[in-house]
Structure 1
Amino acid sequence: MTAIEVRELRRTYTSRTGWLRPRRVVTEAVRGIGFDVGRGELFGLLGPNGAGKTTTIKMLNTLLLPTSGTARVLGHDVAREPVAVRRRIGYVFGGDRGLYERLSALDNLRYFAELYAVEPREQKARIAELLELVGLLGRERERVEGYSRGMRQRLHIARGLLHKPDVLFLDEPSIGVDPVAARDLRRTVADLRADGTTVLLTTHYMAEADELCDRIAVIAGGTIRALGTPEELKSRVQERDILEIEVYGADEAALERLRGLPGVRGVAAEERGAAQSLTVQTDRGADLHGQVLAALDGIRVGRIGSREPTLEDAYVAIVEASGSAAASVPAEEVGA
């Protein structure tokens, strides 16, 4: 049975620029996407910053109206039946907003239980159950202002589950969380799926998506570029080799030289302190070490290694193939 149905969903924004000659600029944030999420499924929505992930989630949980298209959550239309949708869903977002820091975790949950209309006779047992689920039992009487970021995120999840939602939206819940806390969050999310909760997760952490998600959709430039299980997405780059190169001071011109080499299928750079980590995807069996080093002539090179492709490599390949690692672009400009 389907928990979420999305058909040709679009969202555009209109803004005005200029003063003497103002223009109306129409930006398409989401461009006719479609997908289904089954009951009890943990579904990942991945994409670069501004790709349309959060806009999509906000339309699905009724915080934004679609410009066109349809979306249904548990059979209810998000535009025409927002109250019915809100009764059945929970929404947890990354960051520190949404909690009262000078209250204890227990008082926060009591307050939100009232807002969510949880029956008074059920509140005590429900709060205790959730505190145990997210690993905060024994710390619930401490003020939230003394909590670590990981503890706050776990409290966010408890808050979002107070009214026993059938569908839970997790929008980058582990952002800024240390590795130990992130591991605890992943365990909590996995427990939710095991209990039958449908979860739609957005994240920038590919290992997290690979570990948790039953299926993944990759969105870039406001459209769905790929959809499948983590293994199906990884199969797109199984015929590639991966070179990892530590460099210092590589500029965009050097990256373009690498991308122009025959046999190179993709190049990504990540800042790591004073160094950069270059990930170069090449055709399987192509020995391009010499050509790659020649393209980096004049740039200090550290360690060089090779490895098997991962979900992150598949994600990079999908986004680069889309021709847009950035998000929505102006679709139309109209004179005032």
Structure 2
Amino acid sequence: MIIIQEVSKQFKDRKTYVTALKHISFDVKKGEVVGLLGENGAGKTTLLRSIATLITPSSGSISVDGYDSIKQASEVKKRIGVLFGGETGLYDRLTAKENLEYFAVLYGMSRHEKKVRIEELAVMFGMKDYLNRKVGAFSKGMRQKVAISRALIHNPGIILFDEPTTGLDITSSNIFRQLIHELKAKGKTIIFSSHIMEEVQMLCDSVVMVHKGEVVYKGDLEGLYHEEASRDLNYIFMSKLVRGKSHVS
């Protein structure tokens, strides 16, 4: 369970303050897959970073699995896996396997756990052929698969993905989508941002739409389709942005 209550965030830009998030509130249930939608600069990444304890909100609170994201950040970090856009968090001079081993050690995994988990992820993402090659020479898609594996190495209960299929080819994107289904079946809680509406419709139970730092819709997809009398998520999304904050369930 993730509980976000009245979260706001301001950044100082020279002598002025820029508001990235404005009194955002919503809950994510255990085992729910939530799509985070919004145009560039809407506040999606700031919100995900706040949940992941990488940014401290200016006001409001975030609870992750019962732990306060500010007061108990170390406990929150143990329970989440994160991947933010192009920031893979990988070390170019290490091989894919060495990168995964390094992060496994950080999470306190045993040698056996580490070995089994890396083998599972290598098979899942088709990385066995280049597992022992240095990441610095990898293509964007190869790096992205290793980065997703890094986020999942400790088998977290809560997973945050920011544009997770960026740079992936069709086959790898389909593997990732199948992974989301499998993670959901295991009771994982997932929030991911995406500009690919078909991906959101295929994978998500509900959506959170953010516009200029505010939530303009939070609810299940079927309820949204009924409310808008349409199943065209692209159209609904653009319409919501034009109308602004009208309904948050």
TM-score relative to the length of structure 1: 0.68
Q: Distance in 1 between matches of 2:93 and 2:43?
A: 34
Displacement of 1:148: 3.3
The answer to whether structure 1 residue 148 and structure 2 residue 151 are counterparts is: no
**2:157 matched residue in structure 1:** 166
Q: Distance in 1 between matches of 2:170 and 2:115?
A: 31
Contact 1:134 1:154 in 2 (8 A): yes
Q: Secondary structure at the match of 2:190?
A: strand
Displacement of 1:138: 4.1
Q: Distance in 1 between matches of 2:226 and 2:167?
A: 30
What does 1:219-238 correspond to in 2, within 5 Å? 219-238=210-229
Q: Distance in 2 between matches of 1:180 and 1:146?
A: 21
Q: Which of 225, 237, 240 pairs up with 1:315?
A: 237
Q: Distance in 1 between matches of 2:85 and 2:195?
A: 12
Aligned residue identity for 1:222 = G
Q: Secondary structure at the match of 2:128?
A: coil
**1:6 matched residue in structure 2:** 4
Aligned residue identity for 2:40 = N
Q: Distance in 2 between matches of 1:181 and 1:126?
A: 19
What CA deviation, in whole Å up to 9, does each residue of 1:115-136 have, x standing for no partner?
A: 2221223211121122223332
Contact 2:177 2:203 in 1 (8 A): yes
Contact 2:31 2:187 in 1 (8 A): yes
The answer to whether structure 1 residue 209 and structure 2 residue 210 are counterparts is: no
Q: Distance in 1 between matches of 2:158 and 2:143?
A: 21
Q: Secondary structure at the match of 2:171?
A: helix
Q: Distance in 2 between matches of 1:192 and 1:63?
A: 24
**1:57 matched residue in structure 2:** 48
Contact 1:151 1:181 in 2 (8 A): no
Aligned residue identity for 1:211 = M
State the percentage of identical aligned residues.
36
Q: Distance in 1 between matches of 2:143 and 2:226?
A: 37
Contact 2:163 2:194 in 1 (8 A): yes
Q: Secondary structure at the match of 1:65?
A: coil
Q: Secondary structure at the match of 1:98?
A: coil
Contact 1:230 1:311 in 2 (8 A): no
Q: Secondary structure at the match of 2:168?
A: coil
Displacement of 1:111: 1.6
Displacement of 1:81: 0.7
Runs of 4+ in 1 over 6 A off after TM superposition: none
What CA deviation, in whole Å up to 9, does each residue of 1:133-177 have, x standing for no partner?
A: 333234322333443323322211111111221111101111243
Identify unmatched segments of 5+ residues in structure 1: 17-23, 240-308, 324-336
Aligned residue identity for 1:10 = S
**1:127 matched residue in structure 2:** 118
Q: Distance in 1 between matches of 2:159 and 2:106?
A: 17
Q: Distance in 2 between matches of 1:141 and 1:26?
A: 46
Q: Which of 38, 63, 86 pairs up with 2:77?
A: 86
Contact 1:104 1:144 in 2 (8 A): yes
Q: Which moved more, 1:28-37 or 1:314-323?
A: 314-323
Q: Which moved more, 1:37-46 or 1:136-145?
A: 136-145
Aligned residue identity for 1:87 = K
Contact 1:15 1:26 in 2 (8 A): yes
Displacement of 1:199: 0.8
Aligned residue identity for 1:41 = E
Displacement of 1:194: 1.9
Q: Which of 24, 31, 37 pairs up with 1:40?
A: 31
Identify unmatched segments of 5+ residues in structure 2: none
Aligned residue identity for 1:103 = L
Two-structure CA RMSD over aligned residues (Å): 1.9
The answer to whether structure 1 residue 116 and structure 2 residue 107 are counterparts is: yes
Please state which structure has a larger fraction of its residues in strand. Answer: 1
What CA deviation, in whole Å up to 9, does each residue of 1:10-38 have, x standing for no partner?
A: 1112232xxxxxxx322211000111111
Displacement of 1:236: 4.0
Please state which structure has a larger fraction of its residues in helix. Answer: 2
